[in-house]
Amino acid sequence: MTISKIIEVPYALEIPVGPQHPALHEPVLLKAYADGEEVVRVDIYTGYNHRGIEKLTEKNTFYRNIFIVARVCGICNLVHANCYVRALEELLEKYPNDRARYLRVLAMELERVHSHMLINAVMAEIIGFDSLFMNIMRDREYVMKAKEVLTGNRVLSDYLMVGGVRRDVDSVKKDRLLKLIDRVLPRVKYYRRVFMEDDTLLKRMVGVGVVSKTDALRMSLVGPPARASGVKIDVRSSEKYDAYDEIPFNVVTRKEGDVWARMMVRWDEAIESLNMARYALEHLPSDGNPVPDERRLPRRFPPGEAYTRVEAPRGELTYYVMSDGKPKPYRVKIRTPSFINIINTASVYVGYTVADLPVILVSWDPCISCMERVTVIDPRTGEKRKVPVKELAGGGSRRVSQRYSL
Instruction: Give me the pLDDT at residue 275, please.
Output: 97
The answer to whether 349 touches 360, Cβ cutoff 8 Å, is yes
In terms of domains, do 401 and 366 share one?
A: no
Instruction: Give me the pLDDT at residue 343, please.
Output: 85
The range of the structural domain enclosing residue 382 comes to 375-406
Tens digits of per-residue pLDDT, 355-374? 999 899 999 988 776 665 34
Structure-derived torsion over alpha carbons of residues 278, 279, 280, 285, reported in degrees to the nearest 10:
130
Mean pLDDT for the stretch of residues 305-325: 95
In terms of domains, do 201 and 299 share one?
A: yes
Residue 120 in domain? yes
Residue 38 in domain? no
Q: pLDDT above 70 covers what percent of the chain?
A: 86
In terms of domains, do 147 and 258 share one?
A: yes
In terms of domains, do 156 and 80 share one?
A: yes
Tens digits of per-residue pLDDT, 170-223? 999 999 999 999 999 999 999 999 999 999 999 999 999 999 999 999 999 999
In terms of domains, do 387 and 317 share one?
A: no
In terms of domains, do 290 and 380 share one?
A: no
Tens digits of per-residue pLDDT, 263-305? 999 999 999 999 999 999 999 998 889 999 988 999 889 999 9
Q: How many domains does the chain fold into?
A: 2
Instruction: Give me the pLDDT at residue 375, please.
Output: 43
In terms of domains, do 255 and 341 share one?
A: yes
In terms of domains, do 231 and 184 share one?
A: yes
Instruction: Give me the pLDDT at residue 394, please.
Output: 47
The CATH number of residue 243's host domain is: 1.10.645.10
In terms of domains, do 250 and 167 share one?
A: yes
Residue 222 in domain? yes
Cβ neighbors of 28 (< 8 A, separation 6 or more) are 18, 19, 44, 45, 46, 48, 342, 361, 366, 368, 371
In terms of domains, do 323 and 403 share one?
A: no
Residue 14 in domain? no
Q: Tell me the whole-structure pTM to 2 decimals.
A: 0.87
**One-character DSSP codes across 141-196:** HHHHHHHHHHHS-SS----EETTEES----HHHHHHHHHHHHHHHHHHHHHHHHHH
pLDDT at 169 over 60: yes
Residue 11 in domain? no
In terms of domains, do 148 and 66 share one?
A: yes
Residue 339 in domain? yes
In terms of domains, do 193 and 70 share one?
A: yes
